[in-house]
Copies of this chain bind each other. A is one copy, B any other.
């Protein structure tokens, strides 16, 4: 039922937002459907009109942000810009999607193992495919001479993702530093390193 609609109606969106917030705060496993129903002023029984299970709700919480992040990264990787510009855009995309979809992405990063099967069943890109796309981009940079020739693109792709993903532990959407400013610090670190050039 849910999957056939393009955009979920208002009540469903409210349920998804409440679930994202509770999953982030209490953890996915510790959150019950009763908690979620209470947060939107419903009884658990009425919730079943909108969603079938907590598992489905987790999927609905993470699906759109993941799709958006992956599709945009694919677009960046396949564009004509120089590799260094693409890396800059890729990091900005990752951090900005994180900000726009907070706490949804935080829930995904902590509890992705609970939703992986459902993502695969629905042909949604997994973290593995996302990382491979990033590694592909780095490899093109090595091939073109823009990046260091000795670069281990697999480990470097994990390093960049780790840097960005770890934000889910410390980033406050209402904090004094914007997502864009954080992306700038990350990008300069990744491209130029911390060392003062001599």
Contacts and interface: CB of A to CB of B under 8 A. Distances in A.
Contact of A146 (B141, B160, B195): B195
A87 B194 contact: yes
Interface string A138-170: 100100011111011001101111111111011
Interface stretch (A43-51, A57-65, A68-76, A185-193): A185-193
A192 B193 contact: yes
B185 A159 contact: yes
What interface size band does chain A fall in? Answer: 35 or more
A151 B194 CA distance: 7
A195 B195 CA distance: 13
A182 interface: yes
A194 B156 contact: yes
A27 interface: yes
12 contacts: A27-B29, A29-B30, A148-B194, A148-B195, A149-B196, A155-B186, A158-B170, A159-B189, A162-B163, A162-B164, A163-B166, A191-B193
Given A148-B196, A191-B194, 6 more contacts: A147-B194, A155-B177, A159-B185, A162-B164, A162-B169, A190-B193
